[in-house]
Amino acid sequence: MGIIEKMRLDGKKIFVTGGARGIGKSVATAFAEAGADLAIVDIDIDEAKKTASWIKDKYNVETIAIKTDVTNEDEVNSMIDTILDKFGKLDVAFCNAGICINAPAEEMTYAQWKRNIDINLSGVFLTAQAAGKVMLKQGYGSIINTASMSGHIVNVPQPQCAYNASKAGVILLTKSLAVEWATRGVRVNCISPGYMATELIKESKQLKPLISQWNEMTPMKRMGNPDELQSICVYLAGDTSTYTTGSDIIVDGAFSCF
């Protein structure tokens, strides 16, 4: 089998948290184009259904939409049960759901801190753990977590200590799981995007004014596009990356190089 054929994901079953929009939707689209069947998992079930229906119509793959709060262990376990009932197995988990609350550290409420950590770090742990339990029984699987360049550097000018801490946690969580499961057929990697031109950022009254400053600070002088993460995730999901585990792939236009 040639390299192009190995890059295909035909027959693989994948879930994507935060899959209704943004990075999740973009990567889910790439998975579908490569032949995978998908569960679009999101707290916004209406948008998840729209995304799942659009992907199914465009790529003729099986899709389902599942409403899940990734901070709720029971809901995460129910999501896994639904996927197994529908697809019978789970090949790939893209643990992508996340938020960012910008607030000065001295003004940040504990509720704001906890929400960042609960969704970005604990949510990744719960979904990766639930996926891992299935994959360890199967003897195979690939887990991809969304971290951030913010797990490597401190962003300016916006104050976001909780977000930065949560994403640094995702990176070390990824490496820890990768080592624990390395001999048991389950690979765990993460991606660390830089500033991405998602609709959420472009439409945010708080963040939109910062885009020009971010562009100036980025060596490539622009934000990334979510579709520039697609090929990396397809690689990590597929059979050409079988020796890749514990890796954190930074995609930030060289922002974190200085």
- Asked if residues 193 and 252 have their Cβ atoms less than 8 Å apart, the reply is yes
Calculate helix-pair angle for 22-33, 230-237, nearest 10 degrees: 60
Q: Positive or negative CA dihedral for 61, 67, 69, 72?
A: negative
Query: How many angstroms separate the CA atoms of 31 and 143, rounded?
Result: 14
Q: Is 78 a catalytic residue?
A: no
Q: Which residue among 148, 166, 192, 241 is the active-site one?
A: 148
Q: Is 235 a catalytic residue?
A: no
Q: Which residue among 13, 163, 195, 241 is the active-site one?
A: 163
Q: Report the DSSP beta bridge partners of residue 63.
A: 38
Q: Is 163 a catalytic residue?
A: yes
Q: Which residue among 167, 192, 195, 241 is the active-site one?
A: 167
Query: How many angstroms separate the CA atoms of 235 and 247, rounded?
Result: 12
208-223 burial by CB neighbour count: b if 16+ within 10 A, else e? eebbeebeebbeeeeb
Q: What token pair was written down for 173?
A: 């969580």
* HEC readout, 31-49: HHHCCCEEEEEECCHHHHH
Residues annotated catalytic, as ranges: 148, 163, 167
